[in-house]
Structure 1
Amino acid sequence: MNRRGIVKKISTARLAGMAVTVGVIIAASAVMASAGGYFVTDPVALPPNTTDDNRYFSGKANDQYDGHGYFDNHGHKKNDPGIQLGPRPFYLVEGMDEGKLKERLMSCQNGPFYRTDFSIAHRGAALQFPEHTKEARAAGARMGAGIVECDVTFTKDGELVCRHDECDLHTTTNIVATELNNQCSVPWSGPGSKPRCCTSDITLAEFKTLTGKMDASNPSATTAEGFLGGTRNWRTDLYTGRGTLLTHKESIQQNLELGVKFTPELKAANPDHQDRIKAIFGSQENYAQKMIDEYKMAGVNPKDVFAQSFTKEDILYWIQNEPRFGRQAVYLDSIDPTVTPPIPRISLDELKQLRKQGVKIIAPPLFALLALDSNDEIVPSQYAKDIKGLGFDIITWTFERSDLRKGSAAAGFYYLFDPQGKAVKKDSDMYKALDVLARQVGILGIFSDWPATVTYYANCMGLR
C-alpha cells in the first residue's frame, strides 16, 4: 500500500467545497485507576488543562470489534518466545524526551511481548524486506503483528497475487532484467526510459519466476541490473537475497501457518486497464467475489478477515453479498491534499450515508487523524472526532513508512499534520503520535512497515 495510487480514480463529487479539517481535542471524561496514573477504559479525550503526562493506560482498550472479540491478543498475556522485536523499538524509546510516556515505555523493556491485532504488518515488513514476499510477511509476524496484509491484484490468466499495484513489477521485482521485460506494457529500454510492468502483462507461471526486491529504481542506470537499484539510504538491501513472490492463495496458507489474521486489499486496475478486469473476470463484482471465495475455499473464519478497498462499491458489494465478510470490511479513505486537485476528507453527509449502508470501519491515513493544538502538542483532528462521533471504528496507515531521523518537516505525506516539525522533531517522537492515535483517537489498529515498533507500544500499554 502506498494507498495514494488510487487517487486519480476518486469521484470528483467529493472535491467540491470540502477540505481537510483540523482541530484541538474536545473535553471529555477520563477514568483514573491507579496511583501511577494509568487507567483502563475506552480511549477518551483530554479534559481541559490536563497534561498528556497524566494519562496512560493498560488493559482492554480497543480489545474488541463489534462485541465479538475480533481484535484480540491471540491468547497471550505472557511472553511469547516466538515474538522477536529486535533493537529498533528499544532504540526509539531510549531516544524519547523525558516524561511519563517514555517512563512507561522504558518500564516494558523486559516484556512480556506477544502477538497483537493492534499491530498490522503493512506489506509484511517493508521497511527492510522486499514487500509482499514470503520472507517479509514472516518477518512481520515474528515482530508480533496479529494481522498480515496482502494487496490483491491479478495476472493475465486471472490468478490473484500479492502486489501493491497492478503495475509496479518494474520497481518491486527483477522483471526488467529478465526476458519478461519484453512483455511489459512499456519495457525498460535504457537510461531515462519509464518502464511499466504489470501483473496483468504476464501469466501466473511467469509471475512466479520473478524475485521480489525493495521498491525502488534508478532511472539513469545504463543497464537493466542498474535500474533495479535506487533503494533509499534509510532502508536497506540487506534482505534482498531471497524475495519469494506469493499468490493470494499462498498468502492465505502462510497466514494460517503463522497463526495470524488476514487483511487483503482488493486493488483497482490501473485506469487504462478496466477492460482487462472485464475481459478476465467479467465484471468488477466477480473480481471482488473471487478474492472472498479464496478465503471460503481455504476454510478461513470470516471474523479473521478484514477485507479492504478504496472503492466504495467493493465494500458495499461485500456487505450485501458476503455479509459475514462485509460486516468488518475496511473502507480505505483516499484523502490527499498533495495531489491536483486535492482529494478532501469524507464529508459528514457521506459518513452518515456510509453508516446507513452498513460500513463499520473507516481507514484514513494517519495524518488525517491528527493535528497540533496551540501549544504544538499532538491531538486528534476534527476529522477523527467526526468519524468516531458517528460510531465508526478506525484503522490507520502507515507507521514506519517515513524517514523521521530529522523529524516530520521533511517526512512527507504521513506527517502532514506537522509540516514544520514542531511536535515530531526526531524519529523517537513517532511514539507521541502513536500514543494519541491509540488513546485519544481510539484506533483499532495501525499498519506499519516495521511491526515491532507498534507491537512494543501495544504490549506495553496492554492493547490487544
Structure 2
Amino acid sequence: MTMKPFLALCLASTALAGAAHADGVSYGPRPFYLIERMEDGPLKDKLASCTEQAPARSSFSVGHRGAPLQFPEHTVESNMAAARMGAGILECDVTFTKDKQLVCRHAQNDLHTTTNILATDLGAKCTQVFVPANGDTRAQAECRTSDITLAEFRTLTGKMDAANASATTVAEYLDGTAGWRTDLYSVQKGTLMTHAESIALFDSLGADFTPELKAPSVEMPFDGFSYQDYAQKMIDEYKAAGIAPDRVWPQSFDLEIVKYWVDNEPEFGKQAVYLMDEYDTEGYSPMDPATWPNTMEELKAMGVNYIAPPMWMLLTLDEADNMVASELALAAQEAGLGIITWTLERSGPLTTGGGWYFQSVKDATDTDGDYFTILHALREEAGVVGVFSDWPATVTFYANCMGID
C-alpha cells in the first residue's frame, strides 16, 4: 500500500473509531487494524474503500455470547458492547438453576471459570469444590448453575472465561485470562442475566435472538424437569415476551431437540438451528459424505432449515492454497439449507494458524488480517448467511461493506 492510501486509512480509522451511526452502531478501531494487516489484493482494496461508510446493524453479524474477546461472556455489558458493534442477532446460551429457572451461561457447569463463585460462600455448594494443584495434579473445581438457586445466581459476578490449572489458591485459579484477551472490562461487576432478562435486553437494543439450549450436566429428568420441558420452557419465554417467531433462531447440538421444536413449535422450528458436532465422531470428515451421520438432504427432510458447523468444516484449501468450500458446504447449499458458522476471533491471533477453529485453512493464515480473508471465503465460497464472532464489529464492517443486511 502506498503512503497516501495508508494515511487515508489511518485518518478514517481515527475518525470512525469513536463515531457512531444514528442507531448507535460504531466499529471501533479493530476492523481498520485488520485491514492494514491484510496482504495487498482486491479484497483489501475493497475493504479499504469502505472505511468511510456509515456503520449499520446487520443480521449477518451474530454476537457470540456478546463480545467476549474483551467482555465477560453472557453479561449485560458484553451484549451491550456487541449491539453497539452492530450485531443484529445476540446469543443467550440457556441452562437452568437448582430451582429450574433459565439463565444465560455457556454450560451448566462453567460457573467456576466464568464467575466469581469460588471466591464466595457459594463455592461450598459446588459439585466439586476448589482443590489446589499439587505436583503434577492440576487444580480442580466444577460449579453448576443447578448447584444454586436463581436468587443465589443473581449474587454472582461475571468474569472472563478462564482458569489457571496450576493454581494453589482460589485467587490464582480465577486469574487465568489469556494474554490476547483482557480483564480490563471485568474489573467491575459483570452483570449476569436470566434468559427472560436477555430477551428484554436484546429487544431493547434492537437485536434479534439466537438462544442455545445447552446439554444438561445433570441427569434428566431433574427433579421432575424433563429435557422436553426444558426445551419447551425456553420457547415459552419468547411467547410470554411477545416476540415474533421469525426473530428467533433457537439452537441445539442435539438433533432430537431441533426436531422437537420442528414438531411441537413449528413457527419457531422453521428457524431452528442444528449445531453440527459430527466432528466428535471417529473418522468424520467434512470432505467425505460417507462419514456423515446424516446427508444434507436427510436433514432437510427432517424439517431442519439451518445448520451451524464450526468454520473449519466449511472451508478447505485448493492446490494453490486458496480457501474454497468444503464438500459439506457444497452439499448444504445444494440441499437448500441456510448455513451459519462459529466462531470468528475466538481462539487468538492467526500468526500461528489460529487454533481449532481454523484448522482446515491454517496453512494459508499467517496474519490477523486473514480474519477478513476467512470471512470472505465463508460468505462467497461456503455461502454462509451468518457468522458468530467474539468481536462483532469485524463481521459488521464486512457486511456493511459488502451490502449484506
Instruction: Assess same fold via TM > 0.5.
Output: yes
Of 176, 186, 198, 1:230 maps to: 176
Shift of 1:226: 1.7
Residue matched to 2:203: 256
Which amino acid letter does the alignment assign opposite residue 199 of structure 1? T
Structure 2 equivalent of residue 298 of structure 1: 241
Does the CA-based 8 Å contact 1:113-1:456 persist in structure 2?
Answer: yes
- Deviations 1:245-277, CA, capped at 9 Å, x for gaps: 00000000001110100000000112xx123x4
Taking the aligned partners of 1:403 and 1:335, their CA distance within structure 2 comes to 24
| Whole-angstrom CA distance in 1 between matches of 2:285 and 2:257 | 20
CA shift, 1:341, in A, is 3.8
Per-residue deviation, 1:342: 5.4
- Could you tell me which residue of structure 1 aligns to residue 102 of structure 2? 160
Give yes or no for the alignment of 1:437 onto 2:382.
Answer: no
Is 1:323 the counterpart of 2:284? The answer is no
- The answer (yes or no) to whether the contact 1:157–1:280 under 8 Å persists in 2 is no
Which ranges of structure 2 fall in alignment gaps of 5 or more residues?
1-19
Letter in 1 for 2:160: M
Q: So what's the TM-score if we normalise by structure 2?
A: 0.90
Query: Equivalent residue of 2:88, what SS?
Result: strand
| 2:167 corresponds to | 221
The alignment's C-alpha RMSD in Å is 1.6
SS at match of 1:98: coil
Counterpart check, 1:394 vs 2:339? yes
SS state at 2:263 partner: helix
Give the residue type in structure 1 aligned to 2:403: G
* 1:202 matched to 2:143: no
Equivalent-residue separation in structure 2 for 1:412 and 1:392 (angstroms): 27
> How far is the alpha carbon of 1:425 from its aligned partner?
1.2
Aligned to 1:119, the other structure's residue is in SS state strand
Asked if structure 2 preserves the Cα contact closer than 8 Å seen for 1:79 and 1:111, the reply is no
Which runs of 5 or more residues in structure 1 are unaligned? 1-77
Q: Distance in 2 between matches of 1:218 and 1:425?
A: 28
Higher RCO, Cα 8 Å, sep 6+: 1
Distance 2:75 2:270 in 1: 29
> Aligned to 2:168, what secondary structure does the other structure show?
coil
> Distance between the aligned counterparts of 1:164 and 1:344, measured in 2?
26
Percent identity over the alignment is: 52
Alignment correspondent of 1:266: 213
- Cα distance per residue 1:322-368 (max 9 Å; x no partner): 111000100000032xx684555573853222211111001100000
Aligned to 2:129: 187
Output the CA distance in 2 between the equivalents of 1:437 and 1:172. Answer: 30
Q: What is the CA–CA distance in structure 1 between the aligned matches of 2:295 and 2:323, rounded to whole Å?
A: 27
Deviations, residues 291-330 of structure 1 (Å, cap 9, x unaligned): 0000000000110000000001111111111111000100
- The answer to whether the Cα contact below 8 Å between 2:350 and 2:370 also exists between their aligned partners in 1 is no
Which residue in the other structure is 2:17 paired with?
none
Partners of 1:388 and 1:405 in 2: how far apart?
A: 28
Q: Number of paired residues?
A: 377
- CA shift, 1:418, in A, is 2.2
| 1:453 corresponds to 2:394 | yes
Inter-partner Cα distance in structure 2 for 1:293 and 1:224? 38
Alignment match, 1:367: 312
Looking at structure 2, the residues matched to 458 and 256 of structure 1 have their Cα atoms a distance apart, in angstroms, of 21
- Partner Cα separation in structure 2 for residue 139 and residue 160 of structure 1: 23
Counterpart CA distance in 2 for 1:317 and 1:122 is 24
Q: Secondary structure at the match of 1:387?
A: helix
The answer to whether the 8 Å contact 2:180/2:349 transfers is no
Partner AA of 1:193 in structure 2: A
Could you say which residue in structure 2 is the equivalent of 1:287? Answer: 230
Asked if residue 172 in structure 1 is aligned to residue 114 in structure 2, the reply is yes
1:244 and 2:191 are equivalent in the alignment? yes
Greater share of residues in helix: 2
Q: Residue 97 in 1 paired to residue 43 in 2?
A: no
Deviation (angstroms), 1:189: 2.9
